[in-house]
Chain A
Amino acid sequence: MLKGWKEIPIGGMILEPGNSVNFKTGDWRAMKPVIDKNKCIKCLMCWTFCPEPAIIRHEDNSVDINYDFCKGCGICAKVCPRKAITMVPEGE
């Protein structure tokens, strides 16, 4: 249910920083990236260049795709120096 004028903050202010995480853009994609962890050298190139970001960087610099937000642009697959990421059709 959409909120009424008395319930929302004045002037268009958005008080919750980063609440766009509630808007899942993952359903945009037609292709999805799959990481082969055996090939991954944790260089962080994919994480650096992900526009969303939809790549989770762990403490040890290993990475995982956040499929809630991945739009399937394919940049990560392109920049990976070890070709550890492949784009496969969504639904596969």
Chain B
Amino acid sequence: MGKVLGLMGNEAVAYAVKQSNVDVIAAYPITPQTIIVERLSEFVANGELDAAFVPVESEHSALSCCVGASLAGARVFTASASQGIALMFEITFIASSMRCPIVMAIVNRAFSAPINIHCSHDDTVALRDASWVHLISESVQEAYDNAIQAFKIAEDSRVLLPTSISLDGFILSHCLERIEVLDNKVVSDFLPPRKAEYKLDPEKPITFGPLALQDYYFEFKRQQEEAMRNALSVVKEVGKKYGEISGRTYGTVKKFMTDDADVVLVCMGTVAGTARVVARSLRKEGKKVGVLSIRLFRPFPAQDVVEALRNAKAVAVIDRSSAPGCIGGPLFEDICTALYDLPEKPLTYNIIAGLGGRDITPEHIKQIYNTGYKYIKEGKVLEKVLWVGVR
């Protein structure tokens, strides 16, 4: 009935991928993802995982290799971060347009320059338009659980889109946590071998990747849009089914004391944990605060977000990446757009924090909540975008 292991984030992802009976892994090492790739190649070399491990010569080739393998009908996995994601950027759009159910772990790391190996969400948010399903992990347990669910979501015939699971670089990837892993059989029952309906098959020759001119391109994009819309319900379905086999049910967002909150902090990733600790202590002081953690970044679960935030008086959104020239960061834009049509909107403000692995401390969180209270008192947002923690 499952067992308890002490695993680092990267190890947990590798363990989950092993149990998911992946067929092909093509990956290029990059800090802080390297351990995923190393563990997987160990599993293959030891015969613990029956898969082809392709030690590609770059991330661009890694994802290209994955596309080829996926079109051949295999279950495919890769992992990357930061510059690697940037390098494979071209192919991420192609992987989704060619409807390849590839699963990729993104171990969140800041984009250069300057070169920085620590946590920012630049890499994941850079792919927000790439038509991938993006799942965000807050803990090592979630990274493990998300990895297994990712295959099921991606390979669902209503979706057939590549799916990423993000985990904060170093903070999660290299953090040892007590996690519960499922039995191999439980996972293999949940995830039977992939049965691709359309694949490269000499018995049924299909042409993949044609040129589509002005008369057809638009229609393929509409199909992708439909798949993304379907993904929203598939993520919930799979999250529920996963709850039945593991005792841990997953949705699109995680609400913590949001029902009656005056100020809600919205965020992605490990900072949610810190926020909840601060929220608990502020509640003891009588402040009604809450935390909304986003698990599904794309497709954006607007309805669930609105339902969680509609009664708040102020909403602070933490972005762990900046979008220079925009009014706030990527998550802030999504939240604001979701809330826009409400007849009575909460005051919304954006926090840019934690870039390049800068610690987001309980003090920072407290400061963010207090700012919300200040805005509520003033009746308006005095400063829309705040860079917290920068000198």
Contact = CB atoms under 8 A, between A and B. Distances in A.
A11 B206 contact: no
B288 interface: no
A11 B223 contact: yes
Contact of B160 (A3, A10, A14): A10
Interface of B: 97-99, 160, 198, 204-210, 212, 215-216, 218-220, 222-223, 226-227
Nearest to A3: B219
A9 B206 CA distance: 11
Which 6 residue pairs of A and B lie closest in terms of their CB atoms, listed nearest first? A11-B99, A5-B219, A14-B207, A5-B222, A17-B205, A11-B98
A7 to B, nearest CB: 9
A8 interface: yes
Contacts of A12: 97-98, 208-210, 212, 220
A11 B220 contact: yes
Contacts of A13: 198, 206-208
Interface of A: 2-5, 8-15, 17
20 contacts: A2-B215, A2-B216, A4-B219, A5-B218, A5-B220, A8-B219, A8-B220, A8-B223, A10-B198, A10-B223, A11-B97, A11-B198, A11-B220, A12-B97, A12-B208, A13-B198, A13-B208, A14-B206, A14-B210, A15-B204
Nearest to A8: B219
B200 to A, nearest CB: 11
A29 B97 CA distance: 36
Contact of B206 (A5, A8, A15): A15
A11 B196 CA distance: 14
B206 A10 contact: no
A13 B227 CA distance: 16
